[in-house]
Amino acid sequence: SQTIHQWPATLVQPVGSPLSLECTVEGTSNPNLYWYRQAAGRGLQLLFYSVGIGQISSEVPQNLSASRPQDRQFILSSKKLLLSDSGFYLCAWSVRDPGTQYFGPGTRLLVL
């Protein structure tokens, strides 16, 4: 069966510090991968999606970036965090696009 992992689960970072969130998927090959951000009490904002290694599509211009160094690994990064980067970050995978997405447990980020 397929599983998706995200870490860390919770992160508190100062403004201006770097960020690296990791997401890995097990039990499937060549998944589509997605990063979303959810502000408190709000909907999901698509940040990045990837259909293969090294292929990243960005949805929203901002100080975040994403990379896919391996087939089942998706990394979200920032060089300098802003207060507005606080939120709940969710990674998801799907077999194809469009298709049902399967979400990871999420990372709760608080930037102070």
Partner 1 sequence: ELKVEQNPLFLSMQEGKNYTIYCNYSTTSDRLYWYRQDPGKSLESLFVLLSNGAVKQEGRLMASLDTKARLSTLHITAAVHDLSATYFCAVDSMRFGAGTRLTVKP
What's the helix, strand, coil split of the chain in %, to 5? 5, 60, 40
Question: Pick from 64, 90, 109, 111: which binds partner 1 (CB under 8 A)?
Answer: 90
Question: Would you give the binding string for partner 1 spanning residues 5-44, x where CB under 8 A is met?
Answer: -----------------------------x-x----xxxx
- Vertex 21 angle, CA 15 and 25, to 5°: 165
Question: Pick from 49, 50, 64, 93: which binds partner 1 (CB under 8 A)?
Answer: 49
Rg (CA), the chain: 13
Position 100 contacts partner 1 (CB under 8 A):
yes
Position 98 contacts partner 1 (CB under 8 A):
yes
Contacts of 42 (CB under 8 A, 6+ apart): none
Q: Which residues bind partner 1 (CB under 8 A)?
A: 34, 36, 41-44, 46, 49, 90, 92, 94, 97-106
